[in-house]
Each structure stands twice: as structure tokens, then as C-alpha cells.
Amino acid sequence: MSPAFRAMDVEPRAKGVLLEPFIHQVGGHSCVLRFNETTLCKPLVPREHQFYETLPAEMRRFTPQYKAGGQQGRTLSDRGPEVWEESGQPGCQALVDTC
């Protein structure tokens, strides 16, 4: 976690997860946030979802692990741009492990 976030006095939230902006973001990708040391959160794009769901097993070891399928929705909270809450909506965000 970055020093700026560690320095913040943030009270624990019952249903939220504090995310950090992903500073190594590539142009053309919007709203990529860091969930933890190895996992990124990003908008779920239907075409990308289909790609990961239909990826041949032989290719999976060469691609990031995709964690979106079937999760109940996590959406950005109105409490802040980096707080996610359970929304009860079908999976509307994607979690992808980095290499």
C-alpha cells in the first residue's frame, strides 16, 4: 500500500474495500485500480469476459487469472471513488491477477 494511503486515518467499513489507483496503467484503459499486491480491478467489458470464458485450457497458464465470473456485483461506492460495495447486481466488475 502506498504511504499516502497508510497515512490516512480510515475507519473500517462494513461492506467496502479501499482500492489504490494502479499507477502503471496503459493508455486506453480506464479505471484500473489495485485490489492487493497481485490483483487489479477494472471494468468488466463483455468482449473481454467472453475471451476469458472461452480461452482454451492450453492458453490459461500464459494469461492473467480472471476472477469475475458469477460474482455478485461490486460497484464503486458513492462514499468515494476508491470504495467498492456489494451491489447485489450480477458481476459488473472484473478482478484479474497480475503476472
For residue 75, what pLDDT is reported? 45
Domain ranges for the chain? 3-97
* Helix ranges restricted to H, 1-99: 3-7, 46-54
Strands 72-76 and 33-34: unpaired
| Backbone torsion region of residue 84, taken as left when φ is above 0, otherwise alpha when ψ lies between -120 and 50, otherwise beta | beta
pLDDT at 37: 80
Ranking 27-31, 77-81, 87-91 by mean pLDDT, the lowest is 87-91
Task: Give me the pLDDT at residue 56, please.
Answer: 94
Cell of 35: 485490489
Mean pLDDT, all residues of the chain: 64
State residue 27's pLDDT score.
66
Q: Which three-class secondary structure state does DSSP give residue 62? A: helix
* Contact call for residues 44 and 91 (beta carbons, < 8 A): yes
Q: Give the pLDDT of residue 80.
A: 47
Look at residue 67 and tell me whether its pLDDT is greater than 60. Answer: yes
End-to-end CA distance of the chain: 18
What is the pLDDT, as a whole number, of residue 22?
76
pLDDT tens track for 5-31: 555 555 554 566 677 777 776 666 667
